Chain A
């Protein structure tokens, strides 16, 4: 029973490049959440998705960031034209239903150079 799988674990991008972060939820989970953790800080909500739907993106920056959770395949968090301030750990979580226990992946650590 695999947990939430995120890849890559580490990602280095030059300023201006695109970053694509992937998240495969736990089996049977149809709710996916993305969070960002800056160094020495707690996690901040970015977006909540269900299959083919963005339910709440109130934590997403208005520009350069987008997320999707297609009918088939993993959820993708996409950051276009990355800047140094995007360097952080990005965590994905999944749950079987909304407002129930969520399980987190190991995170993707993005470094922008």
Chain B
């Protein structure tokens, strides 16, 4: 299967700071999504972004499919941004998830 590596594994930010999360994948994919798993365990869709750039409020994402990576930008972080961020890449019938970036935003 496809290998998905996320970095950094852990991140602690002061409220208001910006951050960049990275997702590298080992093969061509036809689907890529970013999710936020909140402290209650719920998976929230952030972006469906197999290629290109998208923005949604303080979050934006860029996928460069030819170079097999995607970036998630979080600006002006808030405590509610805390949780685990997963990148999932899809090919064929399934998604392959990375091990996530655990983000803690402190007031």
A109 — which chain B residues lie within 8 A by C-beta? 41
- Inter-chain residue pair count (beta carbon < 8 A): 52
Contact assessment for A101 and B41 in the assembled complex, using a CB-CB cutoff below 8 Å: no
Complex partner residue of B41 from A56, A58, A89, CB under 8 angstroms: A89
Contact assessment for A56 and B86 in the assembled complex, using a CB-CB cutoff below 8 Å: no
Q: Which residues of B contact A (CB under 8 A)?
A: 30-31, 33, 35, 41-43, 45, 48, 86, 88, 90, 92-100
User: Distance in Å from the Cβ of B20 to the closest Cβ of chain A?
Assistant: 20
The proximity string for A residues 75-101 relative to B, scoring 1 for CB distances below 8 Å and 0 otherwise, is 000000000000001010100001111
Contact assessment for B97 and A101 in the assembled complex, using a CB-CB cutoff below 8 Å: no
User: Distance in Å from the Cβ of B51 to the closest Cβ of chain A?
Assistant: 14
The proximity string for A residues 47-61 relative to B, scoring 1 for CB distances below 8 Å and 0 otherwise, is 010000001101100
Q: Which residues of A contact B (CB under 8 A)?
A: 33, 35, 41-45, 48, 55-56, 58-59, 89, 91, 93, 98-104, 106-107, 109
Contact assessment for A42 and B100 in the assembled complex, using a CB-CB cutoff below 8 Å: yes
Residue of A33, A43, A107 with highest tally of chain B CB at under 10 A:
A43
A-B contact pairs, 22 of them (CB 8 A): A33-B95, A35-B97, A42-B98, A42-B100, A44-B97, A45-B95, A48-B94, A56-B94, A93-B95, A98-B93, A99-B30, A99-B90, A100-B31, A100-B48, A101-B31, A101-B45, A102-B33, A102-B90, A102-B95, A104-B43, A107-B42, A109-B41
